[in-house]
Amino acid sequence: MIAVDTNLLVYAHRRDSPWFEPARQALRSLVEGTATWAIPWPCVHEFLAISTHPKIYRPPTTLPRALEQVTALLASPSLVLLSEPTDYWLVLERLLAASQVTGARVHDARVAAVCLSHGVSELWSADRDFTRFPELRTRNPLVP
C-alpha cells in the first residue's frame, strides 16, 4: 500500500506551487485507481495547517476550501486513513532511538511510525527527511 505525505497533498492542491501539475497527476493516479492507498491522519491535519497558513501562502487557502479538498480526497473508495494503532508507541520509540531525531522532525517520525504500523510499502513524499527512517521505503513521485 502507498501512503501520501503532506507535501504532495499541498502541492496537488495549490495551483501556485511549481510542483502542482506533477503532484496532481501523481495523486490522481491513486485517487482514481483501484489499488488501496493511504493518508496518515497527521498528514491531513498538517495539510489543513499549512494550506490555510497566512505566513506560508498569500493568499492562504480558505478553511472552507481546504475542508472541501479533504472531503474530495476522502471520497476515493480505495483510500484508507491511517491512525496510531496499539503498537504505535513501540514503533515510534524504536524509530526515534535509531534516528535520534528531535524537535520538529518528531512529526516525520510519527508519520513513519504510523505507516510502518499499518504495513505501508512505500511513502510518497518530496521530503528527504524521511531517509532518516530506513525501515520505511520512500519515493518522490515528482522526479523521474
Sequence ranges of the domains in the chain:
2-139
Each residue's pLDDT tens digit in the chain (144 positions)?
999 999 999 999 999 999 999 999 999 999 999 999 999 999 999 999 999 999 999 999 999 999 999 999 999 999 999 999 999 999 999 999 999 999 999 999 999 999 999 999 999 999 999 999 999 999 999 998
DSSP state for residue 60 in the 8-state scheme = P
The CATH classification number of 2-139 equals 3.40.50.1010
Instruction: Take residue 32 and report the three cell numbers written for it.
Output: 482514481
- Return the HEC string of 117-142: HCCCCEEECCCHHHHHCCCCCEECCC
Quote the CA–CA distance of 126 and 82 in Å, as a whole number.
19
